[in-house]
Amino acid sequence: MVFVRTTPPRPVAVTAVFPELASLARPAIRLHPRPGSPSVRESSVGGPLLWPAEEPWPHCESSHLHFDSGFRQSPAIVRLERRMQARWHPDSGDFELTPEEEALKERSAARLAERLAASPPPAECPVPMLPVAQLYLRDIPLLRPPGQADLLQILWCPYDHEPDNKPSTALFWRSAAAVVDILATPPEPYEANYPGYVPEPCVLAPESITEYPDSLDLSPEMRLMVEDRSRWQAAGVGVDSAYGDYPRDFYDCELADAPGWKVGGWPPWGRTDPYRRYCTVCDVQMVPLLTIASFEWDGDEGRSWAPCEDQAAAYAAHYAGQHPSQPTGVEVGSTDNMQLYVCPTSPEHPHTDLIQ
């Protein structure tokens, strides 16, 4: 069975109201991650990587002690507790761990206790990075890899880092065909700074869409244009009553850029005004590569972006650990987005990131 997710049609055709925005349309690919068991030969979020056995696994060499949150759980225990939480229901009462889960909990606790008693402490040692996403060009044709590469792998260190208190990220481009011997058991960090820095393994249902810029990315003249109710009325479009006298909010929330994990498209501003990123090598303005999202959709208005296949679940009652808008378990910032940017002239130039 093919896994598919489909974004509902937008309530209004943007260019029917504002033909001036047609030239600003950008392609994007919503990834639609959902919990699953991806293989190394599949695109995924939080899944196993097609990593060469002869290539060292990336480690973060920074000191992490000054960002100690007091959270002391291994990635394995974070995922175990999520599974336990997902089984909980107010009508089901208590439940017991399976023998396999009990054994995992005991092994992880013993391993962590051993490391905490060691010198130096785990946070001071090089920290193995965690897989965040693996994207094959065949699934995500918007990728622009260097040379013969057809695979992008993204990892991060599950600790906060200065100056913006966010995970440190690493990008690797490679040719999948060149990987013969695969690393069977990659190292994992002894602990994570926060549970939200441990992605849940997810399969993907890539979907191509067209996006338009957030109003903060528009020129002052165009911004006034989307705020002008008479323009909407002249096009015979009634702005959703939930937005009252604020058609600009209707444009931003319902028409401009999609929420959730995506490749390409426009940045989801809001936490700050637009903050241009420039390549440290050639000084060209960088472009969005990947949005790592805390939510696939958020709030009552944002639910209109929930895929057609998830609409019933989006509007149903949910319990702790079971909300379908957080399939990856990832939370960055204050339930914000982390955007990765790359140089459009050379993807091998250093990337940058931004919490938004």
| Residues contacting 319, CB < 8 A, separation 6+ | 88, 89, 90
pLDDT computed for residue 221 by the predictor = 96
How is residue 82 written in tokens? Answer: 């999520």
Please indicate whether residue 170 or residue 64 has the higher confidence score (pLDDT): 170
The pLDDT score that the predictor gives to residue 270 is 75
Tokens of 80: 């175990």
Confidence of residue 1 (pLDDT cuts 50, 70, 90): low
Identify whether the C-beta of residue 330 lies closer than 8 Å to the C-beta of residue 293.
yes
**For residue 250, what is the enclosing H or E element?**
helix 247-250
At 28 the pLDDT is: 98
Please tell me the predicted confidence (pLDDT) of residue 90.
Answer: 61
pLDDT at 273: 84
For residues 45 and 199, the answer to whether their CB atoms sit within 8 Å is: yes
Query: Around Cβ 64, how many Cβ atoms within 10 Å?
Result: 22
> What pLDDT does residue 192 have?
87
Identify the bridge partners of residue 156 per DSSP, sorted by sequence position.
130, 169
Q: What is the pLDDT of residue 76?
A: 86
Task: State the Cα–Cα distance between residues 74 and 79, nearest whole angstrom.
Answer: 9
The predicted pLDDT at position 66 comes to 56
Residue range 289-310, pLDDT digits in tens: 999 999 999 766 578 899 999 9
Neighbouring C-beta atoms of residue 175, cutoff 10 Å: 13
User: What pLDDT is recorded for position 73?
Assistant: 80
Q: Contact at 8 Å (CB) between 204 and 44?
A: yes
What's the rounded mean pLDDT across residues 301-321? Answer: 79
**Average per-residue pLDDT for the chain:** 87
What is the pLDDT, as a whole number, of residue 101?
A: 72
Question: Cis before residue 167, ω within 30 degrees of 0?
Answer: no
Name 161's Cβ contacts closer than 8 Å, sequence gap at least 6.
Answer: 62, 64, 67, 167, 168
Query: Could you report the per-residue pLDDT of 98-129, keeping only the tens digit for each?
Result: 777 777 777 767 766 766 666 555 556 789 99
CA distances 344 to 9, 24, 268, 286, Å, are: 30, 17, 19, 6
Distance CA 353, CA 356 (A): 10
* pLDDT at 229 (0 to 100): 85
Using DSSP, how many helices (H) and how many strands (E) does the chain show? 8, 14
| Contact (CB, 8 A) for 177 and 83 | no
CA angle 263, 132, 114 (to 5 degrees): 170
Residue 29 has pLDDT above 90, yes or no: yes
Q: Tell me the C-alpha distance between 258 and 202, whole Å.
A: 19
Quote the CA–CA distance of 305 and 37 in Å, as a whole number.
25
Give pLDDT, residue 172.
98
76: tokens are: 């394995």
Residue type at 171?
Answer: L
pLDDT value at position 208? Answer: 98
- Rounded CA separation 92/94 (Å): 7
pLDDT score, position 70: 61
Parallel, antiparallel or unpaired: strands 337-342 and 262-264: unpaired
How much is the pLDDT for 320?
52
Q: Tell me which residue of 233, 301, 262, 305 sits closest to 9, measured CA to CA.
A: 305
List the structure tokens of 22: 């047609």
Confidence of residue 83 (pLDDT cuts 50, 70, 90): confident
Give me the pLDDT at residue 41, please: 97
Higher pLDDT: 34 or 247? It is 34
Question: What is this structure's pTM?
Answer: 0.90
